[in-house]
Amino acid sequence: MSITIFTATGTKKGTMDLPSVFTGRINRALMHQALVVQQSNRRTNIAHVKNRGEVAGSTKKLFQQKGTGRARRGPVRSPLLRGGGKTFGPRNDRNFIKDMPKSMRRAAIASCLAWQAKREKIIGLENYGDSMKTKTFVDLLKKLPVEIGRRIVVVLPDHHKGLEMSARNVKRVKTLTCNYLNVEDLTGAHYLIFLTEAIDKIQEILGRGKDSDPSSPSGYDEAGDSEESDDAPKKTKKTAISKAKAKSKPKKLITNNQ
């Protein structure tokens, strides 16, 4: 799988083959799980209600249990009464933090990259100057095969002050370094613009070798967790069938009359 490389002036220079991280298996369930973890950890508790122990009011029983003909009633702070405490309402001390192993997080990011590569939404950028002008960056976007107004994520190998300052005032454009790639930005972006150095750095961070599948959390191939050694005896189909027949064959009973 290859992508098109453009220069800083917007002219097409050539193509570049993507590394193995961008061509792995797409695990949509893992991508969704990582997205839920990220959004849950960012969640803040705002809504809060008082329970019956926190509402102001007397604990005295409103009227006697029997003899009035009315339904039995406790204190005025009961959740059954208007103005009483709330039962199972939202609380500001609720914990929404979720945890996820590093291998699964990286596998989810690799799945997002493979998904965007399959959709052909990844564009390569050879370099960018140090000028901090929004107009220069907008002129570059007009020459690239992107729709201005859609969500665009520019991935950098390291902090690039000229590109970051030029892009921060453009609507729906976000710059990220390789170390801060996340599932929400990768899946929400309509286009991904990678500097060529960023592609090599992502392969260095997320890559697990040529033959391994980067989207599997364990880092092993899909075929199996490990390879069998050459010294181990190999089971053939004939021996397996003969053993199965031997197990299923009934034993002959010996009686005293024989």
Closest CA to 39 of 106, 115, 92, 98: 98
Among 56-70, 126-140, 208-222, name the one with the lowest average pLDDT.
Answer: 208-222
At the topology level, CATH places domain 2-42+98-206 in Ribosomal Protein L4; Chain: A; (3.40.1370)
**Residues above pLDDT 70, as percent of the chain:** 80
User: What are the pLDDT digits (tens) for 18-36?
Assistant: 999 999 999 999 999 999 9
pTM for this structure?
0.73
Task: Considering only residues 232 and 176, tell me which one the structure prediction assigns the higher pLDDT.
Answer: 176
Residue ranges covered by each domain of the chain: 2-42+98-206
Task: Considering only residues 213 and 40, tell me which one the structure prediction assigns the higher pLDDT.
Answer: 40
Closest CA to 129 of 121, 119, 139, 120: 139
Q: Report pLDDT for 131.
A: 86
Identify whether the C-beta of residue 109 lies closer than 8 Å to the C-beta of residue 179.
Answer: no
